[in-house]
A and B are shown apart, each in its own frame.
Chain A
Amino acid sequence: MSDVISLSAAAAAEAIAAGSLSANELFDAYRARAAADRAAGEDGLNCFTWVAVDAPHAFPATDAALAGVPLAVKDLFCTEGVPSQSGSRILEGYLPPYTASAVARLADAGTSLLAKTNQDEFAMGSSNENSAFGPVRNPWDRSKVPGGSSGGSAAAVAAGLAPWALGTDTGGSIRQPAALCGIVGLKPTYGAVSRYGMIAFASSLDQAGPLTRDVRDAALMLRHMVGRDQCDATSLQFPEAIQLPTAERLDGVRLGVPEEFTGAGIEAGVLEAFQAALTHAEQLGAQISEVRLPHAPHALSAYYVIAPAEASSNLARFDGVRYGLRAADATDLLDMYTRTRHDGFGAEVKRRIMLGTYALSSGYYDAYYGRAQRVRTKIAADFRTAFDQVDLIVTPTAPTVAFGLGEKTADPLSMYLNDVCTVPMSLAGIPAISIPCGLSQGLPVGLQIAGPAFSENRLFDAAHALEQSIGFDGAFARV
């Protein structure tokens, strides 16, 4: 492994700015590794749906903050002239005429587009097995899934095929694969990052965020993503500057542990690693107490009504009329719609479109969508109450470590349960970060830290202090 690959993104940016590293050299090193993975097909990790053919002709001026740092971007971000397919057959080869705001901001800060990463189709999945372009493998164990839906982004960062990657999180799609791949992943406050140009799954939940090797990189990337965007009515001005974390201690920080996520359903090895992380926190000066999120057990049910409902509408535009797949030889309009969507969507996407369509149907709306929204309101209130008592909430990120490829594909419900710890924060719109906190069965375990809206700086500080104390070594996966 080349030395440049061992640099964090922040370290690489500093080296380029100092003139000790050439942007071209860095880009070529990563491009070669990414291209090799793509060329390896099933023998590789299958992290990418597209890899840059050449280094960009001109790297931005080196005074740009992230000058010359390559960036891997989840497939569902629109990138002008570069395939953006959201892991779906229905958008195979689709070349958008514009670039997503989050990607454009990172490009303005000096990053160059290295690759597009594989994902579950339309971000629907927790294992990356729902991609039309094949499953991604976990670099810690090729027989295991990397998590999803940002599985390609997580695996690429863990395996050192990209210095960092952009992902999206709807119910855990950044945090859960980050946990399963032993890296850092942040879901920002809803509205902190523009959604413009993100191929939508569930509009009221989708949020872009960083997948990085360490907490400092996550803060660095987020710093260059946040802010109000005129193109996204739900985006907000971040109320403060994102700081690069330096905290080494947690003195006086009150951490709340919700009993709802530390009992049944959480694997023993995961709980063990989680308890060890709490011990680290105590040693760093944190006060740990139990908190209650009484409606959290209903979060998954509410989520699997709201997200499919929005998705059923968001995915209506894939009708074969203007772009993407259109079934050949359709006999009439309905036949064209039916066959295009039959051929273009995978099984999980169809399942969720049907779920969502049903939930919004006349006569069922109140019982499903209406009730789910009321649960969502209660969950947000639960968090507000909890944050009156504690500063941050900590949970395991996922109830298990990475599971085997094909292990859960036959049972959608057990797959959905993988999001049990991450979905409540998504429904509440609050930020949450996952950091690696140890191994179980030789596979990484994630620790999730959540805070009130726009508390990202506090999350980074706490995560940074714990990261330093835990000393997780992810180099194993970067072969």
Chain B
Amino acid sequence: MSTCPQHIVDYMHEYLDGDITREHEQQLKKHLQDCSTCTQHMHELSNTVAFVKSAAHITAPPHFEREVMKRLPKRKNSVGIQNWFRRHPIIVAAAVFLLFMSASLVGSYQNNEFSVTKQPNLLVEGQTVIVPEGEVVKGDIVVRNGDLIIEGKVEGNVTVINGQYMASSAVVTGEIEEIDEMFEWLWYELKTIGNNFVGLFQ
């Protein structure tokens, strides 16, 4: 064996791997015919391979699949929620719509700027709006973040948001509303949108 070149053993392994070239195979065969030590080596290697290959086929225990499924991390019911969404598209759409609506309304509520409906002959002093005595305002008045004092006459609705309405001898032909709470205000906004919407068809 010590006299044989190392590449002969390499050829044996190439042969066993099934990727030996034709020249190498011929050299190997030629060498094996003359060398009993290498023939013995080749024989032992083939037996080794046959020995390992005779290993019995092993199968997983019967409960294996169930055990794996038990060990999987739980998926927070995402399938259930998805299915619910799929089954109730209108509710989902309505919920999304309301969410955006209220978000934009609340957003505008937090805007604390003073504002008043533009009408001629209204007197504005700081954050107080005055309808002077003897004057007649034709149309609605909306005051945001400010007070309203009416000493004259208003031919229309009066709305005060986040402020006080003061009237001594006032004459208001329409409705008078004072809004302080967020939800009341929301309700008012929705009503306005609703009225405008209905108005479109009239």
Q: Do A and B make up one complex?
A: no
Interface residue ranges, A against B (CB under 8 Å): none
